[in-house]
Homo-oligomer: A and B are copies of this chain.
Amino acid sequence: MQAWDQLTARIHELDALGGAMALLDWDQQTYLPAGAGASRGRQSAALGRIYHERFTAPEVGTWLDALEASSLDRVQTSAVRNARRRYRRATVLPGRLVEELSHARTEGFAAWMKAREANDFTPYAAPLQRLIDLTREQAERQAAPGQHLYDALLEDYDPGSTIGELRPMFERLGRELNTFLDALAGRPHPAGFDALLDVEGQRKLSERVLTDLGFDRVHGRLDISEHPFTVGLGTDDVRITTHFHADNFLAALGGTVHECGHAMYEQGLPAQWAGTGLDKAAGMGLHESQSRFWENFIGRSPAFGRYLAPRMQGIWPTLAVSPDTLYGAMNKVERSLIRIFADEATYNLHIIARFELEVGILEGRLQAIDLPAAWDDAYRRIVGVVAPTAKDGVLQDVHWSGGAFGYFPSYTIGNLYAASFGAKIQEDLPDLHERVAHGDFAGILGWLREHVHAKGHLDDAPVLFRGVVGDRDPVEDMVAHLWNRHGTLYGVQRPG
């Protein structure tokens, strides 16, 4: 198996390069001196070029050919399938297109920043159209015969997911969520929690929560950055960042718990498969399911309020805070304009609206110039709100300005997976909530380690998901969870 040894040696090298690239990026968002952008840009670009060159080298194709003609075991079969998919997607794009896309992304991002600042979509239309055209060309080249263009993009983020499966699921979810939100509308909201809490105390408590949840500090660390993120430089080096605001403790803590879910997934990936590419996430939706599971299913539960309240009291002894206050404050639900601030339910409507628009773009029915009106129309029908200006509407997200069409579904795929994982884990660990209330998260993490993390990318996420939850219906699991989670707080019951 000479080809196997050569392929794994190359993957080892690419992973090492990828780790170095991740460090360049982590450092850029945490400690890079303000004036060092130029050399950092050259470093990232050089490593990116070398990575691409070594990944798309002809010998990689030769090794894959040889392996595909050989008899392979289970691990090798998955490794070759994953590598072939990435190799094909990278090598079908002509160098000219790769360069034009890279250029259009830089231009698109700059134009989006300016348009957002000016609260005016117009000057962004042309650069966005350029990105749309190039992305459609990319999808056309990457699509297999008969494959929907949108699926060709999805494959980058969520291999195995398809528009054929997502569309009906999202439609059903949208109807259910609207029924749910209509039932809550007009009911009084639970009380908020807006005590000013010193940042040093917040940091201390966040460190404590991370440790309790099971974040491994021997193989990870926590730093501060403008926008929270998680990055794995290797399964033995997973880094979280967060950002504290004195007046918004619960949001910062929720963000940290979210990133912790991402990080524990990275830390739990199967290190013994290093060099096969199977020690990686099985998809962005599955990655997101791990962050959402901890952020929402655990982190907004009444039991988590019981865990958190005494620990807050320990740090701020004069603070008046009860488990019920925290439970209520973390679960305010209402239709809203901005995706990143949306509650657990409404969030998915934001995604469903974007999905509809993206499909329209890929099918050639929507051009950049049509987007402001199409956005407002989709929001009116799907989310039930309309933005007064572009800044809170079509200009709110960075994704499209970087050419990331097809990424948004990952968020709701993640929420759906998380809902069924939550329902399943509750069956397997009936005393789950008592454990959470007592700060014992080991059984929960152990369950995720065994059923999700340790499987790496042996299968694509949809297959992994089915293997764990059987024939559970994730839409039903999410909707049941939402009625249950918010029903008591809002005094409503699911219509029988």
Indicate if A57 sits at the interface (CB-CB under 8 A).
no
CB of A38 within 8 A of CB of B218, answer no
CB of A221 within 8 A of CB of B12, answer no
CB of B33 within 8 A of CB of A23, answer no
CB of B33 within 8 A of CB of A237, answer yes
CB of A236 within 8 A of CB of B19, answer no
Measured CA separation A277–B62 after assembly (Å): 38
- Known A-B contacts A16-B42, A16-B46, A20-B43; the reply to A35 vs B218 at CB < 8 A is yes
Q: Which residues of B contact A219 (CB under 8 A)?
A: 33, 35-36
Q: Which residues of B contact A36 (CB under 8 A)?
A: 219, 233-234, 236-237
Which residues of A260-298 have CB atoms within 8 Å of chain B's CB atoms?
Answer: none
Nearest CB in chain B to that of A37: its residue? B236
Query: Could you say which of A20, A34, A37, A219 has the most chain B C-beta atoms within 10 Å of its C-beta?
Result: A20
CB of A38 within 8 A of CB of B221, answer no
Indicate if A31 sits at the interface (CB-CB under 8 A).
yes
How many copies make up the complex?
2
Nearest CB in chain B to that of A18: its residue? B43
- Known A-B contacts A27-B23, A31-B221, A35-B219; the reply to A237 vs B40 at CB < 8 A is yes
CB distance from A55 to the nearest CB of B (A): 13
CB distance from A145 to the nearest CB of B (A): 38
Q: Which residues of B contact A45 (CB under 8 A)?
A: 16
A208-226 CB contact bits vs B (8 Å, 1 = yes)?
0000000011111101000
Nearest CB in chain B to that of A20: its residue? B43
Which residues of A94-110 have CB atoms within 8 Å of chain B's CB atoms?
Answer: none
Q: Which residues of B contact A31 (CB under 8 A)?
A: 31, 221, 223
CB distance from A369 to the nearest CB of B (A): 39
Which residues of A192-246 have CB atoms within 8 Å of chain B's CB atoms?
Answer: 216-221, 223, 233-237, 239
CB of B39 within 8 A of CB of A218, answer no
Measured CA separation A50–B46 after assembly (Å): 12
Indicate if A66 sits at the interface (CB-CB under 8 A).
no
- Known A-B contacts A19-B39, A40-B237; the reply to A218 vs B46 at CB < 8 A is no
Of the residues B33, B37, B43, contact of A217 by C-beta under 8 Å: B33
Indicate if A13 sits at the interface (CB-CB under 8 A).
yes
Q: Which residues of B contact A181 (CB under 8 A)?
A: none
Q: Which residues of B contact A218 (CB under 8 A)?
A: 33-35
Q: Which residues of B contact A33 (CB under 8 A)?
A: 217-221, 236-237, 239
Taking A12-B42, A33-B237, A34-B218 as given, write out 4 further A-B residue pairs in contact, using a Cβ cutoff of 8 Å, ordered by the A residue number: A16-B39, A16-B46, A27-B27, A39-B233
A residues with CB within 8 A of B = 12-13, 15-17, 19-20, 23-24, 27, 31-40, 42-43, 45-47, 50, 216-221, 223, 233-237, 239
